[in-house]
Amino acid sequence: AQTVTQSQPEMSVQEAETVTLSCTYDTSESDYYLFWYKQPPSRQMILVIRQEAYKQQNATENRFSVNFQKAAKSFSLKISDSQLGDAAMYFCASRFGNEKLTFGTGTRLTIIP
């Protein structure tokens, strides 16, 4: 079975500090894509960052970066210089060779002023 696991239901971080959200997955596919989505209270699903499994270089988007460890099947999200607007649910997701996005159960991130 192809699964995505987020083991941290809630995380908190002081404003301007750095936080890392964890995600692990399980698949036998060799070609797949990994994503982090942000869901603020508005309910909108916003793509934060994505990583192609065949790329060794970790993806970076401004203050957001990933640590992709393919052998360990790990895909963590690092948020640097946390801002109040980063408060949201964060979902790790993957597309394992078909059209289905498989989601983790989410991590609720709180930013402490």
H or E element in which residue 108 lies: strand 107-112
**Cα–Cα dist 103/110, whole Å:** 20
Nearer of residues 59 and 82 to another protein, judged by Cβ = 59
- Kindly write down the DSSP assignment for every residue of 16-62, as one continuous string: TS-EEE--EEE-S-SS-EEEEEEE-TT---EEEEEEETT--SPPEET
- The smaller minimum CB distance to another protein, of residues 104 and 109, is found at 104
Smallest gap from Cβ 46 to another protein, in A, equals 8
Q: In sequence order, what are the beta bridge partners of 2? A: none
In the bound state with another protein, the residue whose beta carbon lies nearer, of 14 and 98, is: 98
Interacting residues toward another protein by CB under 8 A:
4, 33, 35, 37, 42-47, 50, 52, 91, 93, 95, 99-106
**C-beta of 113: minimal distance to another protein in Å?**
28
Shortest reach from residue 103's CB to another protein, in Å: 3
- Beta strand 88-95 with 107-112 is antiparallel
Pick the closer one to another protein by CB: 3 or 83: 3
